[in-house]
């Protein structure tokens, strides 16, 4: 079959035009070559990684790894395959003792710089071989300075912005002693019930690949070992986002054609970008746990896709293969993890307890152990960890306090906002508005606005604070209005005997609702902030419903019934059921979880200081009954009146509430003069596409120009539309710009399940360019 990287391609390559970023798909083996040959720092931090990206440097790393491996005892080798927690899991498993004896290669669950340095010093100065530790943490959307959640960053459709955010997060983590992030999560998510949609880039493999590559470059820099950057781990391999019923951790059943054409593409982009680590998934894929699947980890990831780093399990997922009913016991689980090619056991210490005995009886070979240890050592050497084990901790306060970092979170939040509705031009708000009723359980929350997966504590700006700053002469009447909470505690909290957060009782909710109605009646207009608390999405936070939780729907309807103009601001990590709001509320702003400066960013958009330009990275369902829903579905046997099914429901339309790629602006844009430079190409040919985009409104604004294609016929059904190019541009009123794209083999090829290879087929191809996935400006060409 050859190397999958040659065909899975769709590596995202930046083209700089008009000071904007255009992302086009190219079949690039360059990134794969970088991942395999190094760009490795061996000397001081001032040595450029580019200077060291030579065959001789990589050979030197291999020699150092082999020499070190030859000196290691079996228990020291097993230690390099073991990641321990910073707190003991048993009285006889104190982390200090394990590290001192060479029985741990990595530590997780701590961002305490003093503790990190103390444990690293034990490893470097008190263990026999002095092998430095990796310190891993979920640095998902910032460290001290918190950026929007990844779903919000994807809504910016601006990979350069994402790369900058991740580089800042890496800078702050490195200065704190954390040298490894368990990010990016690149799982394609098509079901809004799945809580971890918030951690990824949404439903589309093209957009997901662009965001994945940007994150890896942001965290690791141009090469693994770049000063001030950290090791990146792409997760969860593979197809974790396809969980049945949107239930986190549940089984996934994914056919080959979807696995290759949809779920693997963002992983391939990470590999091409040189990612140093891949994390397996918790769940079983087609009835085999991902952590114990040799085909998945060895054949697919390493051989076909060309990955050249090391693989870590997700937390306890080696040991949990016994819970799956896959392994007979924990010894069998350790054996299966090694046989699958999983280099490092996260958290459970299953390898540490059992591998020595398994080697002794011949159930695990020393050769298998050596191969997995060598891959861990090579990554540590490529990182320059032996030369610089402590990071940049002397500069921690200075780095974390950089004003530019905080300013970057504001810009990112502003660019992530998606305007969903603006009837009658209610937005932007007039600077002369006399009074606002600010209502909602999230309106004054400086914690929930940051979202899940935060690291260092940082004081965020709430919506209430942001509006007060932006409208100093406006009377703001704040009322909480009610409450919502998750019904069950997080699993790790439940194990500690903790309960779910207490929900406000119904009597108090009625009092709050009455206060909200009074505030609305007393004010010129209403801004109501609804959505999810930060623990209502993310890991272990899937939901059987996407309805507004608690009394939020009743609160919204009561406020709208006052007759006052209402602006709905959403803080959430996945689409929610706002179908009623879409018909009854004048303006709706999707703000996601916007991070540290979220309140200021929301206020800037509401008041017009910033013109929203974000676009949805997901298809927005009308109700939970439509889930899963995605734009790039197949056609059926029935003729279609548009890109969506006429309807496969007898009671409702199949069309979403808002399509993928959708987002409004305070200005308007028009598309014209779509040109293709040729009508017919061969299977290796390229069509150049151009279109004129004009700002036909009265304000400066951003538009995300999107290109979609469709193969009309072939040996396999292809989706009704597929995103194959995009560019976010800024236009002044009356300005017109020509935006160009290329469509070639990389955009046209797909994995064909019948031939089990990548194909570009003779066919007629539709081309659409516009502002979302329902674009109507159309042309076509043929491949012969």
- Render 318-339 in DSSP notation, one character per residue: TGGGTTTT-SSSHHHHHHHHHH
| Res 13 pLDDT > 70 | no
Q: Which of 138, 171, 191, 314 is catalytic?
A: 314
Chain-centre distance for alpha carbon 224: 20
pLDDT mean across residues, the chain: 92
Is residue 287 annotated as a catalytic residue, yes or no? no
| Sole residue written with tokens 């593979």 | 238
- Residue 55 binned pLDDT confidence (cut-offs 50, 70, 90): confident
- Residue 496 binned pLDDT confidence (cut-offs 50, 70, 90): confident
Encoding tokens for residue 561?
């019934």
Q: What is the dihedral of CA 199, 204, 209, 214, to 10 degrees?
A: -50
Cα separation, 521 vs 270, whole angstroms: 53
In sequence order, what are the residues at sequence separation of 6 or more whose Cβ sits closer than 8 angstroms to the Cβ of residue 58? 37, 38, 40
Which one, of 712, 687, 420, 746, lies nearest residue 572 by Cα? 420
The answer to whether residues 83 and 104 touch, using CB atoms and an 8 Å cutoff, is yes
Go through the chain and tell me how many residues it has.
784
Encoding tokens for residue 372?
């997995």
* Phi, psi (rounded to 5 degrees) for 768: -125, 145
pLDDT digits (tens, 9 = 90+) for 262-294: 999 999 999 999 999 999 999 999 999 999 999
Q: What is the average per-residue pLDDT within 495-520?
A: 94
In sequence order, what are the residues at sequence separation of 6 or more whose Cβ sits closer than 8 angstroms to the Cβ of residue 480? 439, 440, 441, 443, 444, 512
Encoding tokens for residue 210?
């662009």
| Res 24 pLDDT > 60 | no
- Residue 640 binned pLDDT confidence (cut-offs 50, 70, 90): low
- Residue 91 binned pLDDT confidence (cut-offs 50, 70, 90): confident
**pLDDT given for residue 33 in this prediction:** 28
Strand order in the sheet with 20-26: 11-17, 20-26, 722-731, 701-711, 763-770, 777-783, 680-681
| Res 429 pLDDT > 50 | yes
Cα separation, 657 vs 729, whole angstroms: 26
Q: What is the average per-residue pLDDT within 197-219?
A: 98
pLDDT digits (tens, 9 = 90+) for 230-247: 999 999 999 999 999 999
Cα separation, 347 vs 89, whole angstroms: 9
**pLDDT given for residue 31 in this prediction:** 30
* 3-class SS of residue 220: helix
Encoding tokens for residue 414?
């502003």
In sequence order, what are the residues at sequence separation of 6 or more whose Cβ sits closer than 8 angstroms to the Cβ of residue 709? 721, 722, 724, 743, 747, 748, 765, 766, 767, 768
Angle at 459 between CA 454 and CA 465, to 5 degrees: 125
The answer to whether residues 348 and 337 touch, using CB atoms and an 8 Å cutoff, is no
| Res 210 pLDDT > 80 | yes
Q: What is the average per-residue pLDDT within 612-626?
A: 98
- Cα dihedral 513, 514, 518, 521 sign: positive
- Give pTM, 2 decimals: 0.93
The answer to whether residues 740 and 17 touch, using CB atoms and an 8 Å cutoff, is yes
- Residue 458 binned pLDDT confidence (cut-offs 50, 70, 90): confident
**pLDDT given for residue 92 in this prediction:** 82
The answer to whether residues 600 and 466 touch, using CB atoms and an 8 Å cutoff, is yes
- Residue 15 binned pLDDT confidence (cut-offs 50, 70, 90): very low
Exposure of 544 by Cβ count < 10 A (0-12 exposed, 13-18 middle, 19+ buried)?
Answer: exposed
Q: What is the average per-residue pLDDT within 581-607?
A: 98
**pLDDT given for residue 622 in this prediction:** 97
pLDDT digits (tens, 9 = 90+) for 136-191: 999 999 999 999 999 999 999 999 999 999 999 999 999 999 999 999 999 999 99
**pLDDT given for residue 269 in this prediction:** 98
From residue 405, give the alpha-carbon distance in Å to each of 221, 612, 707: 17, 22, 33
Least confident range of 185-189, 191-195, 633-637: 633-637
pLDDT digits (tens, 9 = 90+) for 660-707: 999 999 999 999 999 999 999 999 999 999 999 999 999 999 999 999
Q: What is the average per-residue pLDDT within 617-637?
A: 95
Q: What is the number of other CB atoms lying within 10 angstroms of the CB of residue 655?
A: 18
**pLDDT given for residue 641 in this prediction:** 59
* 3-class SS of residue 462: coil
| Res 257 pLDDT > 50 | yes
Angle at 677 between CA 674 and CA 682, to 5 degrees: 125
Q: What is the number of other CB atoms lying within 10 angstroms of the CB of residue 401?
A: 12
């Amino acid at each position: 079959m050859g190397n999958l990287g040659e065909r899975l391609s769709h590596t995202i390559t930046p083209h700089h035009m008009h000071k904007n970023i255009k992302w086009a798909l190219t079949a690039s083996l360059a990134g794969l070559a970088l991942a395999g040959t190094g760009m490795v720092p061996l000397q001081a931090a001032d040595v450029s990684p580019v200077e060291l990206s030579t065959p001789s440097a990589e050979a030197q790393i291999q020699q150092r790894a082999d020499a070190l491996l030859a000196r290691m005892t079996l228990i020291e080798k097993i230690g390099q395959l073991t990641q321990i927690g910073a707190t003991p899991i048993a009285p006889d498993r104190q982390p200090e003792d394990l590290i001192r004896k060479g029985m741990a290669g990595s530590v997780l669950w701590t961002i305490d710089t003093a503790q990190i340095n103390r444990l690293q010093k034990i490893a470097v100065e008190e263990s026999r071989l002095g092998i430095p530790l990796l310190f891993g943490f979920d640095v998902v959307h910032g460290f001290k300075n918190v950026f929007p959640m990844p779903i919000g960053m994807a809504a910016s459709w601006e990979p350069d912005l994402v790369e900058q955010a991740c580089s800042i997060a890496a800078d702050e983590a490195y200065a704190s002693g954390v040298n490894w992030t368990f990010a990016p999560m690149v799982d394609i998510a098509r079901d809004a019930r799945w809580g971890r949609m918030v951690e990824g880039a949404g439903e589309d493999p093209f957009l997901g690949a662009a965001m994945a590559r940007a994150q890896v470059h942001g965290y690791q820099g141009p090469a693994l070992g770049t000063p001030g950057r950290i090791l990146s781990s792409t997760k969860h391999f593979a197809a974790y986002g396809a969980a049945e019923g949107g239930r986190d951790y549940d089984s996934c059943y994914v056919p080959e054609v979807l696995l290759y054409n949809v779920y693997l593409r963002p992983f391939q982009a990470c590999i091409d970008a040189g990612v140093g680590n891949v994390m397996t998934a918790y769940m079983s894929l087609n009835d085999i746990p991902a952590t114990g699947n040799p085909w998945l980890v060895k054949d697919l990831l390493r051989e076909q896709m060309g990955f050249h780093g090391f693989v870590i399990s997700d937390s306890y997922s080696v040991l949990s293969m016994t819970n799956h009913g896959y392994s007979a016991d924990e010894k069998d689980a350790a054996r299966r993890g090694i046989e699958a090619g999983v280099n490092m056991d996260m958290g459970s210490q299953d390898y540490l307890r059992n591998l020595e005995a398994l080697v002794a009886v011949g159930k695990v070979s020393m050769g298998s152990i050596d191969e997995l240890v060598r891959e861990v050592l090579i990554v540590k050497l490529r990182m320059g960890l032996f030369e610089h084990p402590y990071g940049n901790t002397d500069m921690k306060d200075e780095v974390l306090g950089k004003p530019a970092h905080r300013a970057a979170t504001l810009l990112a939040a502003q660019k992530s906002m998606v305007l969903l509705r603006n009837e009658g031009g209610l937005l932007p708000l007039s600077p002369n508005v006399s009074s606002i009723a600010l209502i909602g359980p999230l309106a004054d929350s400086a914690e929930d606005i940051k979202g899940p997966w935060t690291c260092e504590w940082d004081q965020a700006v709430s919506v209430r604070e942001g509006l007060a700053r932006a409208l100093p002469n406006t009377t703001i009447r704040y009322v909480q209005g009610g409450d919502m909470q998750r019904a069950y505690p997080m699993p790790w909290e439940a194990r500690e005997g903790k309960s779910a957060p207490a929900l406000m009782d119904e009597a108090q909710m009625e009092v709050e609702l009455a206060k909200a109605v009074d505030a609305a009646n007393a004010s010129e207009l209403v801004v109501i902030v609804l959505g999810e608390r930060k623990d209502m999405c993310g890991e272990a936070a899937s939901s059987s419903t996407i309805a507004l939780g608690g009394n939020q729907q009743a609160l919204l309807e009561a406020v709208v019934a006052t007759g006052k103009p209402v602006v709905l601001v959403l803080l959430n990590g996945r689409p929610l059921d706002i179908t009623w709001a879409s018909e009854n509320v004048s303006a709706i702003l999707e703000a996601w979880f916007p991070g540290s400066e979220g309140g200021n960013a929301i206020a800037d958009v509401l008041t017009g200081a910033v013109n929203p330009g974000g676009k949805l990275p997901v298809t927005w369902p009308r109700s939970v009954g439509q889930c899963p829903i995605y734009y790039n579905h197949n056609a059926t046997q029935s003729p279609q009146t548009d890109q969506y099914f006429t309807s496969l429901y007898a009671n409702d339309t199949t069309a979403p509430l808002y399509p993928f790629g959708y987002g409004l602006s305070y200005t308007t844009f028009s598309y014209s003069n779509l040109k293709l430079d040729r009508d017919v190409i061969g299977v290796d040919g390229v069509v150049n596409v151009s279109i004129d985009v004009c700002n036909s409104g009265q304000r400066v604004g951003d538009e995300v120009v999107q290109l979609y294609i469709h193969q009309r016929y072939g040996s396999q059904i292809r989706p009704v539309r597929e995103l194959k190019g995009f560019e976010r541009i800024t236009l002044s009123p009356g300005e017109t710009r020509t935006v160009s794209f290329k469509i070639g083999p990389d955009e046209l090829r797909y994995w064909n399940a019948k031939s089990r290879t990548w194909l570009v087929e003779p066919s007629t191809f539709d081309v659409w360019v516009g502002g979302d996935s329902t674009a109507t400006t159309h042309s076509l060409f043929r491949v012969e």
